[in-house]
Amino acid sequence: MKDLSVVIVGGGAGLGALLAGMAVEAGASGLGIIDLNGDAAEAALQPARDKGLPVASASADIGKGSDCHAAFGKMAEALGRVDTLINCAAIYPRRPILQITDAEWDASNAVNIKGTYHMMVAAVAHMREQAPRPEVRGRIVNITSVDAFKAHPQNAHYAATKAAVVSLTRSFAHEVAKDGILVNSVAPAGMATERARELGFLDELAKASPLGRGAKPVEIAEWVLMTGGPKNTYMTGENVIVSGGYIYA
């Protein structure tokens, strides 16, 4: 991420917070965090503050388009330019397929699809106006999921939203390629996180993977940073599957 100004949506915790620290260590020139939890967003900026980098945080409900555009505008104003947008924010409400309520569908669609869409719209409008660095005006990386491609119990609504984000990624990539903006997504399989441990997923992850374990979050983060970093000057519209062999595509 050397010399790139990075904004992470959902960067207050989990993979997003890990990406924030790793982006700073990789040489990012500025860092912005957008999260529903404003205190968590502020805390995730500490590695950048320690290095004296420009920073910005915003509390936003990305299920609301107005919140998305206001939060991104705050990032752009504070940082001067945004070279890489990483969309990490999502909700994962597990429920048997016959029990999913309209409210759960609406919440999943609002955050996972509409929020991602509006953040990309705001980023594209900004990136189109900035000079290339060096030959690319901007990069967008969306976190999708292998659940977009392989059925998994009790998360049909989540899987559907992630399939939608794969489609959005391709559509945006095609339309903004002429502007020098690269749009890609990264689809992880299950990660061996503390949350997965609490929910009892770790044994399930280990059994599902030919490698015998879930992914370490850093193993996913490395691919996100590569896709959104300065070495990517040509790949766009791709969905990078990082699943430890859980699926092959």
User: What separation in angstroms does the CA of 63 have from each of 10, 84, 108, 113?
Assistant: 12, 21, 9, 9
The answer to whether 79 and 48 are in contact (CB under 8 A) is no
Candidates 210, 217, 116, 133; CA nearest to 171 is 116
Pairing of strands 5-9, 30-35: parallel
Q: In what order do the strands lie in the sheet with 5-9?
A: 55-59, 30-35, 5-9, 84-87, 138-143, 181-188, 239-242
Q: Tell me, yes or no, if 92 is annotated catalytic.
A: no
Q: What angle do CA 210, 228, 206 make, to 5 degrees?
A: 15
d(CA 232, CA 212) in angstroms, rounded, equals 30
92, 158, 234, 246: which is the annotated catalytic residue? 158
- If you ran DSSP here, which 8-state letter would residue 47 be given? H
Question: Which residues form the catalytic set?
Answer: 158
